[in-house]
Amino acid sequence: MAKIVNYISEAFEELKSNVTWPAWAEVQSLTIIVAVFSVLFALATWGVDEFFAKALAGFFNWLKA
């Protein structure tokens, strides 16, 4: 148990002293960029899914006829 506590305390110390944290403005702008690209990627994935769903439905309807 002492090893785990020591590991956690050393990890927090390293986060405080050795990590260079970005400025708050940079964090905000990068968060907005990630959110926008996530929405765009989700819309693109939805569009491809809809296209293939309609293409497969048309193909199977063609096979039934």
Residue type, 31: T
Q: Is the pLDDT of residue 65 over 80?
A: no
Radius of gyration (C-alpha) of the chain in whole angstroms: 25
User: In angstroms, how far is the first alpha carbon of the chain from the final one?
Assistant: 70
pTM, 2 dp = 0.65
CA-to-CA distance for 1 and 3, rounded, in angstroms?
5
pLDDT digits (tens, 9 = 90+) for 6-38: 999 999 999 999 999 899 999 999 999 999 999
